[in-house]
Chains A and B, each alone.
Chain A
Amino acid sequence: GNSVTQMEGPVTLSEEAFLTINCTYTATGYPSLFWYVQYPGEGLQLLLKATKADDKGSNKGFEATYRKETTSFHLEKGSVQVSDSAVYFCALTLNAGGTSYGKLTFGQGTILTVHP
């Protein structure tokens, strides 16, 4: 089956520190990969995505590269801010013939807290 595994949290960092949240996946087909972010009291929102191997998704200073050889999609940011405090979810959806099946498989989420 399909699954996503994220590094255990919570992660606590000081402002301007470097962030890495590890994500690995297993998929029976050809997936697109996503990072979603959930700020306190809100729903999930897309942070970035990559649809094929070696693609790099980026947004708001966050980056992740689709690594097919290691089945990974690690999230990185060079300098975190207090406002980045949130829960981060790695996810995948299967594709076929250029079409997305729509259903997402989520990791368990990683809580990030950034202190001033």
Chain B
Amino acid sequence: DAGVIQSPRHEVTEMGQEVTLRCKPISGHDYLFWYRQTMMRGLELLIYFNNNVPIDDSGMPEDRFSAKMPNASFSTLKIQPSEPRDSAVYFCASSKRGHLGSEQFFGPGTRLTVL
């Protein structure tokens, strides 16, 4: 398996623009997680899905952020409008429920810079 795939790997945009981050989880995994990592706040869970349904979005910073999972093999995280404080590395991860101590597999991340 190719692992969790994220695109783009790097994104540079200007304040006010819409940004869409993409994730393809590992085939057969039923959980998908979006994280944000910054030096100041560390690793934060933004939202996670189970079987394509959002379970907990309490970590989403504000209404400018939205996430969707239209099918088991694709998810997006959208920021509209983007702000400089959104600059961070965004990770997608997936896992399979039903196995004790199931591991989350992380993608390589998208480094977002908002100017």
Contacts and interface: CB of A to CB of B under 8 A. Distances in A.
Name which of B55, B95, B103 has the most chain A CB atoms within 10 A of its CB: B103
Interface residues of A, number: 23
B103 A34 contact: yes
A89 B104 CA distance: 13
Contact of B100 (A46, A95, A106): A95
Contact of A99 (B100, B103, B108): B100
Nearest to B92: A43
Nearest to B96: A102
Category for how many chain B residues contact A: 20 to 34
Contacts of A49: 101, 103
A89 B106 CA distance: 13
Contacts of B107: 43
A56 B111 CA distance: 35
A52 to B, nearest CB: 8
Contacts of B100: 32, 51, 95, 98-100
A42 interface: yes
Nearest to A101: B97
A44 B101 contact: no
Interface of A: 32, 34, 42-46, 49-51, 89, 93, 95, 98-104, 106, 108-109
Given A99-B98, A100-B102, A102-B50, 6 more contacts: A93-B102, A95-B100, A99-B100, A103-B33, A103-B48, A104-B45
Interface of B: 4, 31, 33, 42-43, 45, 48, 50, 55-56, 91, 93, 95, 97-104, 106-109
